[in-house]
Amino acid sequence: MTYELETSTFPTLGKAPITEALIDIRATLPADTSLAALEGYTRGIEDVYPKADKRYSLEARFEFDSPQPRVTMPPSTPDGFLFRARDESSVVQARMDGFTFSKLKPYEDWKTFSGAAKELWARYVGVVSPIRATRVAVRYLNRIELPVGVNIGDYLKTVPQIASGIPQDLGSFLMRLVIPDAASGCVAILTETTVPDQSSTVYPVILDIDVFREIKLDPSDPQLWTILEQLRNFKNTIFFRTLTELALESYK
């Protein structure tokens, strides 16, 4: 089956259900890069990102050198910093393996979001001089609020299917799909799950769309942003092809 990423056929939603949007760029840094260099990432923009916290990496090891498998957890080590905006609406991660820009509510539009990420990435490149960019990703988390008691299939086209002959009521679910696009080299991870809610009238479903591509580019290559635009198009295709018209009506 031939498939082409769609680019401009989807509407702009006036009340998009986005709770968080991320742009992530993984990078290889020079061997002598220090954590102290990353600490100065926001020097000059402290008024916008005044809150800094160390970021720690965790690693679990499974050992099978005895009849009883063991899980060991080495001590966590700092691998970068989290810089939070004064109004808590955005977070920048400057790490030893790359950069992430996260935008929380309110989300405006792709042009504003990607433009801010581009400026912050340029600052990261200036601070640590990465050797190359190795992976780019766009991720959007959406909260889709369904009325309690409805048929989920009336709102979402990609849903779990319960075999016939057993009760059909679905209290909660977690579904993860990995969807590669061979033509573009992009891979999407679509996760759908329910979350608890105090309301008796709302059945919230989290639609998490994470689209990425492995690359080997100079960190300042403009093609980086062309690829991110392509990832965004793939994300839009999945989002708009997953929700029905009935679901989309609430967000127009």
Taking the domains of the chain in order of start, what are their residue ranges? 18-251
Say if residue 106 is preceded by a cis peptide, omega within 30 of 0: yes
56 within 8 A of 76, measured Cβ to Cβ: yes
Work out the number of other CB atoms within 10 angstroms of the CB of residue 159: 17
Dist. CA 102–CA 91, nearest whole Å: 5
pLDDT along the chain (252 residues), means of 10: 55 93 98 92 93 75 62 70 95 96 95 97 96 98 93 92 88 94 94 87 94 97 96 96 95 92
Dist. CA 59–CA 72, nearest whole Å: 9
Residue 89: its pLDDT value, please? 95
